Chain A
Amino acid sequence: MLLEDPMRGVAPMLTALQKLQYSSEQLTTLHPDFLLLCLLAKCYKTGLSILEDDIFEVDQPRDFLLYCYYGGMICIGQKKFSKALELLHSVVTAPMSVLNAIAIEAYKKYILVSLIHLGQFSSSFPKYTSSVAQRNLKNFSQPYLELVNSYCTGKISELEAFVQANNEKFESDKNLGLVKQVVSSMYKRNIQRLTQTYLTLSLEDIANTVQLNSAKEAEMHVLQMIQDGEIYATINQKDGMVRFLEDPEQYKTCEMIELIDSSIQRIMMLSRKLTDMDEQLSCDPLYLGKAGRERQRFDFDDFDTVPSKFTV
């Protein structure tokens, strides 16, 4: 980085990383730096390959936060919005005692990605968010929350006006590109809603309902969405009609069975991890001390293996 040429640093960093971690599930201090290099060098794919590994062991909270934040940005760059959402969610809900800037920035991006990917955003925090975050994060991201409100009204013109008005704020946070993506996702959201109520619809009507300028634009949008696999439809150019189809997935193919099977394997592995962690925790002396002290006195023919008083 000192040489102003991040691209050269990527490959060595990658090797260093792999040599340093003693299991693929561990987060080292090098991880966030590596991701930062990838971001600066714009070679997202390498970064993505590291992100594929799940992380379960963390040494330094700060590393973890930075890792997730940069990881989120890389995923956004690669348009893998669900993984980005996961990573940013981890930052926002990570246990922290003091508010830090990483969390604030992550929260802003989290709102935007949530709008793009899910089409909605709930501003209530899950129960496990730290109280520090719950109290303060909203204060710093006011324009973004207002963006959510105008998104939910469903009117493109309002949304665009709002974005125009707050251009500098979004720009200073370097989020303008994301915000533009939010606006374009609104069209997609509206067209998807149409598939629920209509079997066939003319391109004119689509253009009118979704507030696009012409049938040609509507056709382009629909075509793009069909190619991306976001809706299932056929366009009949002669009548200018679009016919919406049901999801052709019948869940009968081999690939589907393999998918389900691999999910089952994963989940079994996860639950094994959970039980391991539970066992470890139950043997932990500090926990036992605390739990033991709070225990009631049972009948003496109740054989308790843990004495009620336990000195470390």
Chain B
Amino acid sequence: MEAEDDATGQMIEDEEIYVNGGEDGDESKRHRPIISSEQLDIEAYAALYSGRTKISRLMFIAEKCGNASMQLDALRMAYDEIKKGENTQLFREVVVKIDGRLGPNYGPDGAWADAVDRRAEFRKEKLENELNAYRTNLIKESIRMGYNDFGDFYFAHGQLGDAFKNFVRTRDYCTTSKHIVHMCMNAILVSIEMGQFTHVTSYVSKAEQSQDALDPITIEKLRCAAGLALLEGKKYKLAARKFLETGPELGNNYTEVIAPQDVATYGGLCALASFDRAELKSKVIDSINFRNFLELVPEIRELINDFYTSHYASCLEYLGNLKANLLLDIHLHDHVETLYEQIRNKALIQYTHPFVSVDLHMMANAFNTSIASLEKELEALITNNQIQARIDSHNKILYARHADQRNATFQRVLQTGSEFDREVRAMLLRANLIKHEFNLKASRKH
């Protein structure tokens, strides 16, 4: 298949690549490896998402990417998307950022903004009146619907805090577990947009408690949300496990939050950084579930295979190529450095593990770095006790070193003995002092 061939070679051409499998036949969407080493195709990237997250991601890309044409593209698309919605606050922000660079069509459209604001006022009043009517009538279902509508309204207008409050208020009026799940999903969506991932975790666990009302798609959505929360909390191992458990039923159903490509990327990278070899093989490489996701991002798949088969140079090369695009991802960008460092350290440790002595020249070739920098990295790992070895700097060889148990035991024994000696003597002295002080006090009393 074209995709695999190109993936194993050098991905420099700017062509569109077709990937088989993974989606329903009637979708005419093209599944390109969007997260790839080529420069991010913003249109295709944005097409993966919908709703507010699309706008946030586009604005994030515009902020973080270096080159102006990409920035303008992103801002233009953000502008179009915002105009379809009702968020005047974001609209004003985007206009300021565009700064007239895209021509008169993309200028501050005061008329539109005012119209939207007026409509919003009307709708808000209407909703309030309805809600008050329902409240006086005390019909639970209608009150719940009223609060839900309010929540949606605030969400569409970008007032996330109020939206969250209203969604949470529906809790008291939920009668079936379906209602609870619905409330949880809304709360999770708003919390992710606000970046408050502690709420995400609590609402995910709340939703998972009502097992009967959950259809498979919702289960997958909850897993993704939980995985995202763990990623933000830097718990990479647990996040990887959550992402890997996500089944292919997710499909394109959660585009308001996350795309299947993202599940593959986040899951793959976190797993690589935190799993040991056995777990990596069983949960990632051999997993049929996750294979579907990995097909969407063949570079990540190649990268994981290379790591497992010890082709570290090509693995690290893929990582390097992907870095630029990963830094533009709204959830992953502050974790990229940490994850990369962990993956690199694991590669170094894994390389030296089976050997008694390692020639640093060959190792530097395998990792495609210079000997001096390799030596520095190894020194750091040895000092942190992650590699048990010593470096022969003259001949540039790394020797594995196994602790001499007998000597170590003797040393510890002698040390413990002298510590005990010291402590007990000090204790006896102190006891003596206290006794004398006490005697003094007692003698003064009488």
Specify which of A57, A205, A256 is in contact with B432 (CB 8 Å cutoff).
A57
Contact B391–A267 (Cβ < 8 Å)? no
A199 within 8 A of B: yes
Contact A249–B407 (Cβ < 8 Å)? yes
Contact B394–A200 (Cβ < 8 Å)? yes
Contact B425–A200 (Cβ < 8 Å)? no
Looking at B338-346, B358-366, B413-421, the stretch in contact with chain A turns out to be: B413-421
> B379 contacts which chain A residues (CB < 8 A)?
197-198
Looking at B68-76, B196-204, B433-441, the stretch in contact with chain A turns out to be: B433-441
B444 within 8 A of A: no
In chain B between 386 and 436, which residues have their CB closer than 8 angstroms to a CB of chain A?
A: 390-395, 399, 404, 406-407, 410, 413-414, 417-418, 420-422, 424-434, 436
Interface size on B, residues (CB 8 A): 35
> B113 contacts which chain A residues (CB < 8 A)?
none
> B422 contacts which chain A residues (CB < 8 A)?
86
Specify which of B391, B417, B427 is in contact with A198 (CB 8 Å cutoff).
B391
Contact A274–B424 (Cβ < 8 Å)? yes
Specify which of B393, B407, B421, B437 is in contact with A267 (CB 8 Å cutoff).
B421
> B434 contacts which chain A residues (CB < 8 A)?
95
Best-surrounded residue of A256, A263, A274 (most CB of chain B within 10 A): A263
Give chain A nearest CB distance to B208 CB in angstroms. 43
How long is the Cα–Cα vector from A128 to B407 in the complex, in angstroms?
Answer: 33
> A270 contacts which chain B residues (CB < 8 A)?
420-421, 424-425, 428
> A199 contacts which chain B residues (CB < 8 A)?
390-393, 399
Looking at A58-66, A115-123, A145-153, A170-178, the stretch in contact with chain B turns out to be: A58-66
Give chain A nearest CB distance to B28 CB in angstroms. 59
**Number of cross-chain contacts by CB at 8 Å:** 103
B383 within 8 A of A: yes
Known: A266-B421, A274-B428. A58 touches B382 (CB 8 A): no
> A277 contacts which chain B residues (CB < 8 A)?
428, 431
- Please, which residue of chain B has its CB at the minimum distance from the CB of A198? B391
Specify which of A61, A256, A273 is in contact with B428 (CB 8 Å cutoff).
A273
- Please, which residue of chain A has its CB at the minimum distance from the CB of B431? A277
> A60 contacts which chain B residues (CB < 8 A)?
436
A239 within 8 A of B: yes
> A59 contacts which chain B residues (CB < 8 A)?
436
A251 within 8 A of B: yes
Contact B390–A94 (Cβ < 8 Å)? no
How long is the Cα–Cα vector from A97 to B414 in the complex, in angstroms?
Answer: 36
Contact B433–A202 (Cβ < 8 Å)? no
Best-surrounded residue of B383, B420, B433 (most CB of chain A within 10 A): B433
- Please, which residue of chain A has its CB at the minimum distance from the CB of B422? A86
A233-253: CB near B (< 8 Å → 1, else 0) gives: 000000101001011011100
Contact B410–A251 (Cβ < 8 Å)? yes
How long is the Cα–Cα vector from A246 to B404 in the complex, in angstroms?
Answer: 10
Specify which of A95, A128, A202, A274 is in contact with B394 (CB 8 Å cutoff).
A202
> B430 contacts which chain A residues (CB < 8 A)?
90, 93-95, 128
Give chain B nearest CB distance to A56 CB in angstroms. 6
In chain B between 90 and 149, which residues have their CB closer than 8 angstroms to a CB of chain A?
A: none
How long is the Cα–Cα vector from A197 to B395 in the complex, in angstroms?
Answer: 15
How long is the Cα–Cα vector from A120 to B382 in the complex, in angstroms?
Answer: 20
Contact B424–A198 (Cβ < 8 Å)? no
In chain A between 193 and 231, which residues have their CB closer than 8 angstroms to a CB of chain B?
A: 193, 196-202, 205
Known: A54-B425, A61-B436, A270-B424. A200 touches B431 (CB 8 A): no
> A94 contacts which chain B residues (CB < 8 A)?
430, 433
> B392 contacts which chain A residues (CB < 8 A)?
198-200
Specify which of A239, A251, A260 is in contact with B406 (CB 8 Å cutoff).
A251
20 more A-B residue pairs beyond the given contacts A196-B390, A267-B424, with a C-beta to C-beta distance below 8 A: A54-B425, A56-B425, A56-B429, A59-B436, A94-B430, A97-B437, A196-B382, A197-B379, A197-B391, A199-B392, A202-B393, A205-B393, A241-B393, A241-B394, A263-B418, A263-B421, A267-B421, A273-B428, A274-B428, A277-B431
Q: Name the 7 nearest CB pairs between A and B, nearest first.
A: A251-B410, A199-B392, A200-B394, A199-B390, A197-B382, A263-B417, A201-B393
14 A-B residue pairs with CB within 8 Å: A54-B425, A56-B432, A58-B436, A61-B433, A64-B433, A86-B422, A94-B430, A95-B434, A197-B382, A200-B392, A200-B395, A202-B393, A251-B407, A264-B417
